[in-house]
Amino acid sequence: MNSGPLLFLGLFATMACSWTGFVLAPQLQLGGLTQTNTVVVGDALSQTYPLAQPGEAHAGSEVYRANACAACHTEMVRPLDLGSDIQRNWGVRRSLAEDYLLAIPVMLGSQRIGPDLANFGRRTDTNGIYLRLYDPRLITQGSVMPPYRFLFETHKIGFFHSTDALVLPDQDAPPPGFEIVPTPQARALAAYLLSLRQDGYLFEAPPPPLPRTNAVPTNAVATNAVPAAAKPAAK
Amino acid sequence: MNPDEPNKVVDQKDAEPVAGRSTVPIWLIIAFGLLFYWSQLFLAENAGGFNKEVYSPYPSLEEVALANPQDPGAKLRAEGMRIFSTTCAACHQASGLGNPGNNVPPLAGSEWVLAEGGNRIARVVLYGLTGPISVKGQEFNGGTMLPWRDTYSDEQIAAVLTYIRSQWGNTGGPIEPPVVKAARAEARPSYETADELLKLPVK
């Protein structure tokens, strides 16, 4: 080991280069990001973006983190030229640095064993989330997601049914007189998943252009009449 | 131990490994040079000038700007909406109808707001307004609008003017910041009045 200082300098330079590229330069460029306004589309008003996580959503992000959801689910939509995410309806535009401004911590994930969740709040509802957590195969046939039944409790039905008791098919239904209700963790997680939406069009990712046409509209008068071709054949 | 070779180690297994020196092969230097050249070409083509507002698939800032909806007033209106809702809406109301009971004239359909050029309305916002004024055939007297010249910049006042000219059925075009700048250059010491405004050219 007669060239220790040289070896050290080489290692140091290598680490310094990657630290500069991956940490320092992005921090200098994007470290000062603030909330911004969405691009005005048509007559719609511009809105603040991104919005703060509503209600229990932040508590839900801790549940998401604790159960390692990010081990199988990503939260990033790839651009049109680098994947089929947008064609799969996982988002209306690519993800930007701005989207993660108020998400602490950011849970990008790295593997897509399950679908991308960057816009999950756009395509589901609370009940759908509960059923997926209780038994993913109720919704998706052949899903490899583990059921998270410990996020639910079986209660004896009191005077009234719980408003958010799960509606399950017969083979999963609880015994008569009992109902399955989400725990506070499941409610928070559902609030977090519903808050996931990256659908504000920004300057960096503007809305797709409207199709251009020079054709004169042929159906100038709006009508509810059924076109002849769509009518069922008379017998 | 042979005194002629003092550094020779007898047992090779216990020897401290020693790195020698050799020249870097010329083909390796050329290969790295070519790789570096290609990487610079790739970056010039695809890095978008390392601009933080340029994301794939757009190659440059110009392309991003072209892909955005082309509406010259859009940015001003967005900024104006924010200022209007925090400052102006308290008296003129979010509906733009004003508060006639408290001598606040309406902005919706107001001939002062919709006048071509915005020369007069810019002064109203900059220097405030006092005294009688007629809006949409109705007389307002006894109210005073505060001056905003020290609170907002030319761009911000132009934004809020553009906003009120585009809302509530108003169809006035955008007011550009130079109009406000010209009105500010006068440095009027006191409130505007309707009589003095009417002496000014519309544009």
Model confidence pLDDT, tens digit, residues A172-216: 888 889 999 999 999 999 999 999 999 889 989 988 876 666 655
* Contact between B64 and A2 using a beta-carbon 8 Å cutoff: no
Residue A197 lies in a domain: yes
* Contact between B57 and A80 using a beta-carbon 8 Å cutoff: yes
pLDDT at B174: 78
Which ipTM was obtained for this model?
Answer: 0.70
Please, where are the H alpha helices in A145-214? 184-194
Residue A17 lies in a domain: no
Whole-number percent of chain A with pLDDT over 70: 87
Give the distance from residue A2's alpha carbon to the nearest chain B alpha carbon, in angstroms.
Answer: 6
Q: What is the pLDDT of residues A28-39, one digit of tens each?
A: 999 999 998 888
**pLDDT band at B151, cuts 50/70/90?**
confident
Mutate: best of B36, B55, B168, B171, partner A, most A CBs <10 A: B55
Residue A70 lies in a domain: yes
Distances in Å between the Cα of A185 and the Cα atoms of A70, A116, A181, A191, B197 are: 17, 21, 11, 10, 64
pLDDT at B39: 96
pLDDT at B131: 79
CB-CB neighbors (< 8 A) of B79 in chain A: 37
Burial of B51 (0-12, 13-18, 19+ CB in 10 A): middle
- Average pLDDT of the residues in A59-80: 94
Size of interface A-B (CB pairs under 8 A): 53
Q: Report residue A194 as tokens.
A: 């519903």
Q: Report residue B174 as tokens.
A: 């955008």
Report the range of poorest mean pLDDT among A14-18, A53-57, A131-135, A207-211: A207-211
Query: Between these two residues, A92 and B116, which has the higher pLDDT value?
Result: A92
- Average pLDDT of the residues in A56-79: 94
**How many CB atoms neighbour CB A212 within 10 A?**
5
Domain count, chain A: 1
pLDDT at B16: 75
Mutate: best of A39, A48, A80, partner B, most B CBs <10 A: A39
Q: Mean pLDDT across chain B, nearest whole number?
A: 81
Tokens 């963790």 sit on residue: A185
Under 8 Å between Cβ of A66 and A60: no
* Contact between B68 and A97 using a beta-carbon 8 Å cutoff: no
Tokens 């309806």 sit on residue: A89
User: Does A235 have pLDDT greater than 60?
Assistant: no
Q: State how far the Cα of B156 lies from the Cα of B146, in Å rounded to an integer.
A: 16
Burial of B24 (0-12, 13-18, 19+ CB in 10 A): exposed
A108 φ, ψ to 5°?
A: -65, -40
Residue A214 lies in a domain: no
By residue range, what is the domain housing residue A110?
33-208
Domain with residue A115: its CATH number is 1.10.760.10
- Average pLDDT of the residues in B16-30: 87
pLDDT at B184: 81
A-side interface with B, Cβ within 8 Å? 1-3, 29-30, 37, 39-41, 45-46, 79-82, 94, 96-97, 203-207, 209
Residue A218 lies in a domain: no
Residue A8 lies in a domain: no
Report the range of poorest mean pLDDT among A107-121, B62-76, B79-93, B188-202: B188-202
CB-CB neighbors (< 8 A) of A30 in chain B: 52
Give the distance from residue B54's alpha carbon to the nearest chain A alpha carbon, in angstroms.
Answer: 6
pLDDT at B77: 77
CB-CB neighbors (< 8 A) of A209 in chain B: 67
Residue A194 lies in a domain: yes
Residue A222 lies in a domain: no
What long-range pairs does B16-23 form, CB within 8 A, spacing at least 24? B16/A1, B17/A1, B18/A1, B18/A2, B19/A1, B19/A2, B19/A3
The 3-state DSSP class for residue A181 equals: strand
